[in-house]
Structure 1
Amino acid sequence: MCPENVDLFSAISLSANTVARRVEHIERNIKSQLKDKASKFVCFSVALDESIDVSDTSQLLLFIRGINANFEITEELVSVHSMHGTTTGIDIFREVEKSVAEYNLEWKKLKCITTDGGRNMCGTKKGLVGQINKVIENSGGLKPLVLHCILHQQALCGKHLDLSSVLDPVISTVNYIRSHGLKHRQFRDFLEEMNAEFPDLPYYTSVRWLSYGKILARFFELRTEIEIF
């Protein structure tokens, strides 16, 4: 790229301080753009995840998703807060409050909260949800919809549904192809010869509900090749 400017590029300082300053400049620019978009939100929702890192420090991730008057949706990870002390509902709320103030968001425009974790997150009295509800009521807004561990709820729904009539034939076919090394190698070679969209079939695992959609979608895409094989 730009071979005529090789000497110019090689003369640019790439010291640690230079790179650090550039990264900080990019960070300020991105944050400025996000603040501008956030100021135009008609309503927004937040999603929070709290987890412990390898140094036993609680890390709080805050995601914001908002929509403006033109129905343009913005979704970003806006902050990561390292919490070295206690992690009560009030402690978490204070960190969230900092981000809401930093991006000039109005509490009364908050319409949905998605949380993960224990009572410090979802508690309706002393938990984060309870603290947010108080602030919103004081600002004249309506209580937001609260969702807790939405991925886990979807997993439970997926386990409750009886999909055996659909899954059993698919799983049986996949196991027939993949459980024998020779057949599996022949199947992959066959897919390559057919210029198939995918090179292989994934195994089904009942531990992860997401495996349902993955294996069914791949099986459907390769249904013609599987039938011929």
Structure 2
Amino acid sequence: MIKECLESVVEILCPDKKMDFSKLILSRQTITSRVDDIEKHVEDNLKSRAFELIFYAQALDEITDMADTAQLAIFIRGVDVNFKKTEELAALCPLKDTTKSRDLLEAVIEIESLFVTT
């Protein structure tokens, strides 16, 4: 359905590109694979940038999503040797039962272990 809509829009806006859009593969498996590749690339990029930081800090924010699930947003902020500033969302962790300090600490330790082990 999405592909058909895209083809209709392209036919109106830029008919010379219609053949390019008709070649797009939008199957669930293809999209899932592409999203996984993008996720891996973003994660690897963040890890490599985090290892280059000479000073850094973590910022935590506990939020609740629309389904009333508590989430912990973990941000990393820092500077490298050239004073290039980095500020990125490192993780968004659902909190299982409670939002006590112990639960927040466990989530942070779990995320930090991802950066230390690889």
State the TM bucket, normalised to the shorter chain.
0.7 to 0.9
Residue 41 of structure 1: SS of its match in structure 2? Answer: coil
Aligned partner of 1:18 among 30, 39, 56: 30
Residue number in structure 2 paired with 1:53? 65
Aligned to 1:209: none
Task: Tell me, yes or no, if structure 1 residue 62 matches structure 2 residue 91.
Answer: no
The aligned counterpart of 1:203 is none
Aligned residues: 104
How far the C-alpha of 1:17 sits from its partner, in A, is 2.3
- Answer yes or no: is the 8 Å Cα contact 1:66–1:75 preserved in 2: yes
Q: Which has the larger radius of gyration?
A: 1
**Alignment partner, residue 105 of structure 2:** 93
Q: Which residue of 1 aligns with 2:56?
A: 44
One-letter amino acid matched to 1:95: A
Task: Write the distance in 2 (CA, Å) between the matches of 1:90 and 1:55.
Answer: 23
Whether 2:87 is the aligned partner of 1:75: answer yes
Deviation at 1:6, TM superposition (A): 4.2
Paired amino acid for 1:46: Q
1:90 is aligned with what amino acid?
Answer: R
- In the alignment, the residues of structure 1 paired with residue 84 and residue 116 of structure 2 have an alpha-carbon distance, to the nearest angstrom, of 18
Structure 2 distance, partners of 1:43, 1:19, is 37
User: Contact 1:57–1:82 (CA<8 Å) still a contact in 2?
Assistant: yes
Q: Deviations over 1:49-81 (max 9, x none)?
A: 112223221111111111111111111011101
Sort the Cα spacing of 1:39 and 1:10 in 2 relative to 1 into closer, same or farther, 3 A: same
- Paired residues of 1:52 and 1:58 also in contact (CA < 8 A): yes
Instruction: Determine the structure 2 residue equivalent to 1:27.
Output: 39
Q: Unaligned regions of 5+ residues in structure 1, if any?
A: 106-229
Q: What SS is found at the alignment partner of 1:86?
A: coil
Q: Residues 4 and 53 (structure 1 numbering): CA distance in 2 closer, same or farther, change over 3 Å? A: closer
Structure with greater contact order relative to length (CA < 8 Å, sep ≥ 6): 2
Structure 2 CA distance for partners of 1:88 and 1:12, relative to 1, 3 Å = same
1:16 Cα offset (Å): 2.4
Superposition TM-score, scaled by structure 2 size: 0.76
Q: In the aligned structure 1, how far is the partner of 2:45 from the partner of 2:15?
A: 33
SS at match of 2:54: strand
CA RMSD of aligned residues (A): 2.2
Identity, % of aligned pairs? 36
